[in-house]
């Protein structure tokens, strides 16, 4: 299978985050939605609050009766301590790197993880659940946490934060926090195209057949959401909302790995003295995942022992058959966060520019 034809079409709201390439056995371009909101006058980002699916789930599904888990080897083998955390990665997620880039902390903990408490969540927390989507039916299929429940957890979190920091400080933290939402792929892949009732409900005349039709559907949907986000950003005073199409750059990485995996095994991305990223690694394989055969393994299908699992995940773009390696996530994060300025807009797209980290927590332009 040519994974460059099945890369996840990721739509993100500001930055980064789920730079998630999704080589799946379904021949269509998938997408995630990632929304990030920040108060315009914020002087420092005190916390990152995350909602979503496996792209940003740090282990909440470990505490849910579901098969959509990754709290076992070889997942997490390159994470601190070499142990699985429930992240669908060999290491950290994009949200972890983004938190670190903003000077908050090295990783964002899962809200349901009993190893952490409100003192940890005060500066960042994820309510995300692998396998979920915007449609409630999507989460029911794999028995994971629906988006509405994640929001209920957020309400509970706010009450705990108020008790921990005091009402005034807690309100300031929430007002100045970055809110990230990364999900959407599962609605199309797990729900919409597997359940005929869904298309009829949404009056789509034709489903399936040609891959390009599905690709166009994903693009059209993203375009419509982008318009809504732009409208809301203007209406919600004090809040900056951005809808970012990250398809072009991931496709470029996948199709031109030689441009990112240099003979010196060092990739340098960025721009000036305050935003230089060095990545040690070499992208030698972009056609399959590191785990097992790399063509279908995900969750419990990606397990140890498996003699076919690669020994060096940094040589691969994908960790399992769906999720990128830590190197690939970091590479994408550095490309979008480590370039010049905050944001620049054009009629067709939003793009990250240099000094993003410098400006993100300060003032919108």
Contact present, 49 and 154 (Cβ < 8 Å): yes
Known catalytic residue at 57: no
Closest CA to 123 of 93, 161, 80: 161
Nearest to 293 by CA among 312, 309, 304: 309
Which of the residues 113, 135, 320, 334 is marked catalytic? 320
Degrees to nearest 5, angle at CA 180 with 179 and 183: 145
User: ω before 74 within 30° of 0 (cis)?
Assistant: yes
Question: Residues 215, 220, 221, 226: is their CA dihedral positive or negative?
Answer: positive
Give, to the nearest 10 degrees, the angle between helix 94-101 and helix 326-337.
40
Is 355 a residue of the active site? no
Q: How far is CA 281 from CA 267, 273, 294, 312, 337, in A?
A: 8, 22, 19, 9, 19
- Write down the catalytic residue from 323, 334, 339, 354: 323
- 196 CB contacts (<8 Å, ≥6 apart)? none
Catalytic residue among 3, 32, 53, 54: 54
Q: Calculate Rg over the CA atoms of the chain.
A: 19
Distances (CA, A) of 197 to 16, 200, 204, 213: 34, 5, 11, 19
Strand partners, 12: 34, 244
Quick one: the chain helix, strand, coil %, rounded to 5?
35, 20, 45
Angstrom distance (rounded) from CA 241 to CA 34: 10
- DSSP three-state, residue 177: coil
What span, in angstroms and rounded, lies between the C-alpha atoms of 47 and 31?
26
Nearest partner of 243 among 185, 304, 180, judged by Cα:
180
* SS3 state at 203: coil
Per the annotation, the verdict on 54 as an active-site residue is: yes
Q: How far apart are CA 225 and CA 230, in angstroms?
A: 9
The residues annotated with a catalytic role in the active site are: 54, 320, 323
């Amino acid at each position: 299978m040519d994974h460059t034809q099945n890369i996840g079409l990721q739509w993100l709201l500001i930055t980064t985050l789920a730079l998630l390439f999704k080589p799946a056995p379904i021949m269509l371009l998938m997408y995630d939605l990632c929304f990030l909101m920040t108060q315009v006058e914020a002087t420092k980002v005190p916390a990152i609050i995350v909602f979503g699916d496996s792209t940003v789930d740090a282990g909440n599904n470990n505490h849910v009766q579901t098969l959509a888990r990754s709290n076992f080897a070889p997942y997490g083998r390159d994470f601190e301590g070499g142990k699985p955390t429930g992240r669908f990665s060999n290491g950290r997620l994009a949200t972890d790197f983004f938190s670190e880039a903003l000077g908050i902390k090295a990783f964002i903990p899962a809200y349901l993880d009993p190893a952490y408490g409100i003192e940890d969540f005060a500066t960042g927390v994820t309510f995300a659940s692998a396998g979920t989507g915007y449609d409630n039916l999507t989460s029911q299929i794999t028995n994971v946490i629906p988006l509405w429940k994640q929001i209920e957890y957020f309400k509970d979190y706010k009450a705990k934060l108020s008790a921990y920091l005091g009402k005034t400080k807690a309100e300031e933290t929430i007002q100045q926090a970055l809110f990230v939402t990364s999900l959407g792929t599962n609605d199309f892949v797990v729900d919409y195209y597997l359940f005929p009732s869904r298309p009829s409900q949404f009056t789509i005349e034709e489903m399936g057949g040609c891959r390009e039709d599905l690709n166009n559907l994903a693009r059209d949907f993203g375009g419509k959401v982008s318009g809504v986000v732009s409208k809301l950003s203007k209406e919600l005073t004090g809040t900056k909302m951005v809808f970012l199409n990250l398809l072009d750059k991931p496709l470029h990485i996948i199709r031109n790995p030689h441009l990112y995996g240099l003979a010196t095994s060092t990739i340098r991305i960025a721009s000036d003295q305050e935003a230089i990223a060095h990545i040690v690694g070499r992208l030698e394989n972009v056609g399959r995942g590191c785990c097992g055969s790399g063509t279908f393994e995900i969750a419990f299908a990606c397990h140890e022992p498996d003699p076919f699992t690669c020994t060096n995940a940094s040589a691969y773009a994908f960790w399992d058959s769906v999720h990128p390696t830590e190197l690939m996530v970091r590479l994408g994060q550095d490309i979008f966060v480590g370039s010049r300025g905050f944001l620049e807009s054009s009629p067709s797209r939003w793009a990250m520019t240099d000094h993003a980290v410098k400006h993100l927590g300060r003032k919108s332009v």
